[in-house]
Chain A
């Protein structure tokens, strides 16, 4: 319905330069005790994602989809089970040198700042640890606060976290991440804890930082509308895998993967012309024993025989827009494309007593 102008595809970094930060085949399994035996939660499975220089990439997914684990892997806070994180095409350097280039902003500004220290202390630490240049400590701190629109800077530097509102705290957390002059900012749900009226201010700040300073940003969120607003590229995650990625407006206007279609059919949308009808049902799978084949097939309204057996390859459905779904595959045999019997597929798949949310870290809630 909407034609994507060419310049947006350009802006999306599809034809842009080499990526700054890249995840290649990134996999993370968390060991858990499951009954008597050892088991693993397949939190992130074979994710390949490139963050183009100066671009904003959004990772969208429900809770438990592995999006935060991906952000932590990219920040090198946790080690991948397999795969690699590449900075400028090379294996990541030492921890400290890496932190100088890639910084993480966490979801909850109420717990990510230390209540007994002033804003000044929070901003001085990274400057002292990583070595500062370009002026005195005070002038650098004032500069940081100005960049995140906390002015007058002197007043804010002297404040403690409890004296700030949620939005101001998140700006301090962003300023702290900017202190080392990183090239990449990983923002894990940076606005979901904030009041609705101030979320947009923080999103606009991120957009502004990219615009003015060429910062490369990864925006992790569950809110696909805000991803469309902020990001050039959206990658949709489901059950630990990236199932669709492409230019953000194209993902929301013409979603190719049935899961993205489901997500969009469920999102609050007052502009909707018709009453919403859900394109699927149910809840994400247990990641200790994820479904064979496509992990979405138990919920998919279009599931075929092949979906239950083999993982779908990513197919390019448009320029820079790829979707991992067997529906895009050509030349499937009649047996493979036979619809799966759907008796129990469209019901709310309740976790059984042995696979409930209390049984492992598979569920984030």
Chain B
């Protein structure tokens, strides 16, 4: 098994040009909570593809269905969550939605690993870190000797920047950042091809968050796994992800390259979300955010679920839910009637996509955001009308 995973890893690195490099392919996925008329449609018609080595950001507010989507196709969803429709494949052969427990057991951790939001609850408080590593290895690599397991555990811990002599520590002896690093190391224990991270750094301070992200991206460059990174923080995703999918009220409303979303969003919700994050540079401007609040999924609005908060909404939006449309020569998708090719598009939603700058291949792997185009967030200059102004 371990020899096999080594081969796998080599093929990962050189697999850039392979045609079937889609690892996760989800289409038409619907998830309800509850049954019958009272069911809440938490995810509706979700489309998602994750390619080898890609970092895909999944953005959305709480309740937008981003975690539910990830739990559904990994089959981690618990009742009352029910998958009601759709397809989900891993690689070219495995149907994730019909896989039985034995197949899933083979896939989980070997091929698809999950890092949960709260590392404090995910680690067992009464077992040492080393024991928890060993548990994973013993369950999935029964042929490993005790010495080999210990060696691998130490190696994993050092991989995420924690000295190996910490293996004897219990979770409470580690800081929050270190616990999250341990979670990441456990997820990587069996060299998975896909790592799903559900808000992995949300509970951490900003410096620790950055340290962990740097380590994660360096590991990604070295090991070549793909990441589905779930976060509510779009400004963070723009920095770390290759492409971003934005969810609103259970639907995927836009998917595009990170730079394209940031500089030239096509969906009004993406635009609004981007203008909800004040910038650290330039003149301070009044920003509007998005009026109203996310809908109650027990009683979602008819038509486009975003229309009550959308300043561009017109008649059709109130009745017909918009389909996911291919835009810009099929490089991106958005679900908005403004982009149907007939309706005139407001200037804010038709910005040209600036040329993507090259990403550094190694060393942090951070995308180079910036370059041409105007920042999305806008408003009158602070001097005119200001939320912060006092006496002139």
Contacts and interface: CB of A to CB of B under 8 A. Distances in A.
A230 B284 CA distance: 9
A11 B211 contact: no
A230 B383 CA distance: 14
Interface string A209-246: 01100000000001011101111100000000000000
Contacts of A253: 281
Interface string B199-218: 00001011111110010000
Interface in B378-392: 383, 386-392
A284 B211 CA distance: 14
B370 A196 contact: no
A357 B294 contact: no
Given A62-B205, A348-B211, A54 B390 contact: yes
B211 A270 contact: no
Contacts of B370: 271-273
A294 to B, nearest CB: 17
B151 interface: no
B280 A275 contact: no
Nearest to B207: A266
A11 B390 contact: yes
A118 to B, nearest CB: 20
Contacts of A211: 386-387, 389-390
A354 B284 CA distance: 45
Nearest to B375: A271
A275 B387 contact: no
A13 to B, nearest CB: 8
A324 B155 CA distance: 41
A267 interface: yes
Interface string A168-183: 1000000000000000
Interface residues of B, number: 66
B169 A353 contact: yes
A7 B61 CA distance: 37
Contacts of A5: 383
Given A201-B291, A348-B161, A271 B207 contact: no
A23 to B, nearest CB: 21
B280 A228 contact: yes
B76 interface: no
Contacts of A268: 206, 233, 235-236, 239, 277
A277 B211 CA distance: 10
A355 to B, nearest CB: 9
A11 B239 contact: no
Contact of B262 (A56, A195, A270): A270
Contact of A197 (B278, B280, B294, B392): B294
Contacts of A353: 169, 173
A167 interface: yes
A176 B229 CA distance: 39
A198 B178 contact: no
Interface stretch (B100-108, B336-344, B360-368): B360-368
Nearest to B258: A270
Given A55-B390, A267-B280, A269-B280, A62 B207 contact: yes
Interface string A54-67: 11100000110000
Given A196-B234, A348-B178, A271 B369 contact: yes
A10 to B, nearest CB: 7
A197 B276 contact: yes
B278 A270 contact: no
A229 B388 contact: yes
A167 B293 contact: yes
Contacts of A281: 207, 211
Contacts of A197: 61, 272-273, 276, 289-290, 293-294, 309
B389 A272 contact: no
Interface in B244-264: 262
B207 A272 contact: no
B392 A7 contact: yes
Contacts of A204: 286-289, 387
A226 to B, nearest CB: 6
A351 interface: yes
A62 B203 CA distance: 11
8 contacts: A197-B273, A211-B386, A229-B284, A265-B210, A269-B235, A275-B368, A356-B175, A357-B172
